[in-house]
Amino acid sequence: MTEHTQKLIVVTGASTGLGASTARELARRGFHVLAGVRRDSDADAVRSTGVEPVILDITRPEQVEALAARVADDPRELHALVNNAGIQVNGPVEALPMSQWRWVFEVNLFGHVAVTRALLPALLRSRGRVINISSIGGRVAMATYGAYAGAKFALEAVSDSLRREVAPLGVQVVVVEPGGVRTEMATRGIATANELAALMTPEQDERYGDLVRATNALMASGTASGLTADAAALVVAKAATTRRPRTRYTVGRDAALIIRLARMLSDRTLDRIVTANLRRHYPRATTA
């Protein structure tokens, strides 16, 4: 505990789920955690010993600047930034409105870049690290996951580029890739996908309706059988505290298996496996 008592860690998206669990776990290990939340009610829920909530919407420049000022004014060094905030919005490429595409990238990519840029001066001074919470969707893109996976693929690329830029300066960059985790984000993602599916044209519904319903059923099944947020947070904490962290950590056996298959198999073979797995979730006998 005493080793980390005088160090800060910032965790974005800490209102619930993986972010809240990570904030609590890092505080338990002796860090002072600045936990980014969007509402005062969320702040009251997450506040605890070692966890200080800060109002932070990563898409609002003034709040990102306020966070950077809070860190700069603190005499404790910044040990790590955990970029965890995110949303899940799924839909077929043809049917998902462009406004949703832009919003997914704004939250899941550009917001992380904004926070990272704002805190890099402090991390460079402390020779700290950046932990980017990606997803198995950042390595394999399932049907209807175009926007979400696209942003996560991009986050993985930015992480690689940043790692190569700042490694000579003493800053480490780590990517964490969760599979199924039992969080509110997954539940909200399914609800959002259903709402967006209801807006499809009749022609789009005929083409993609069963696919969307099957994908949602598969997501619900994977989430229900996934790790708890507390178990997943242990992996994030390991990435934040291990002296020589790996560049990537998977979270859950499903994530490790899918990444292994993606490395071993051709695209077409992986397509057949994914399709076969999805087929049993279709609401009727069609496999369109």
Which CATH number is 180's domain given? Answer: 3.40.50.720
213 is a domain residue: no
Rg of the chain in Å (alpha carbons): 19
Q: Are strands 181-182 and 227-228 parallel, antiparallel or unpaired?
A: parallel
Query: Could you tell me the pTM of the whole model?
Result: 0.91
Over 90: is that where the pLDDT of 216 sits?
no
User: Is residue 68 domain-resident?
Assistant: yes
CA distance 187 to 198: 17
- Calculate mean pLDDT across residues 173-177: 98
Provide φ and ψ at 119, rounded to 5°.
-100, -5
- The reply to whether 286 falls in a domain is no
Comparing 40-44, 204-208, 274-278, the range with the smallest average pLDDT is 274-278
In a domain, 193, yes or no: no
Confidence of residue 229 (pLDDT cuts 50, 70, 90): very high
CA distance 230 to 187: 17
Q: pLDDT band for 5, please (50, 70, 90 cuts).
A: low
| Dist. CA 6–CA 77, nearest whole Å | 7
233 in Cβ contact with 18 (< 8 Å):
yes
Is 151 contained in some domain?
yes
pLDDT on residue 151: 98
Residue 253 lies in a domain: yes
Higher pLDDT, 222 or 13: 13
Mean pLDDT of the chain: 92
pLDDT band at 4 (very low <50, low <70, confident <90, very high): low
- pLDDT the model gives residue 287: 46
Spell out a b/e string for 42-56, using b for 16 or more CB atoms within 10 Å of the CB, else e: bbeebeeebbbbbeb
For 154, other C-beta atoms within 10 Å of its C-beta total 18
CB-neighbour burial class of residue 148 (10 A; exposed 0-12, middle 13-18, buried 19+)? buried
Banded model confidence at residue 184, pLDDT cuts 50, 70, 90: confident
In a domain, 49, yes or no: yes
Given a cut of 80, whether residue 222 has pLDDT beyond it is: no
Mean per-residue pLDDT for 153-165?
98
Q: Which residues have a catalytic role annotated?
A: 148
| Token pair in block for residue 38 | 């969007």
Q: How many CA atoms lie within 13 A of 219 on its CB side?
A: 28
Mean pLDDT on 219-242: 89
- Do the domain assignments include residue 102? yes
Pairing of strands 77-83, 7-11: parallel
50: left (phi over 0), alpha (psi -120 to 50) or beta: left
Chain segment 93-149, per-residue pLDDT in tens: 999 999 999 999 999 999 999 999 999 999 999 999 999 999 999 999 999 999 999
Distance CA 143, CA 137 (A): 11
Q: Residues 37, 56: contact at Cβ < 8 Å? A: yes
Per-residue pLDDT, averaged over 58-77, amounts to 97
Q: Is the pLDDT of residue 224 over 60?
A: yes
Say whether pLDDT at 225 is over 60: yes
At 288, is the pLDDT very low, low, confident or very high (cuts 50, 70, 90)?
very low
- Domain of 130 in residue numbering reads as 2-185+228-264
Residue 285 reports pLDDT greater than 80: no
- Residues with Cβ < 8 Å from 86, sequence gap 6 or more? 13, 107, 108, 133, 185
Number of domains in the chain: 1
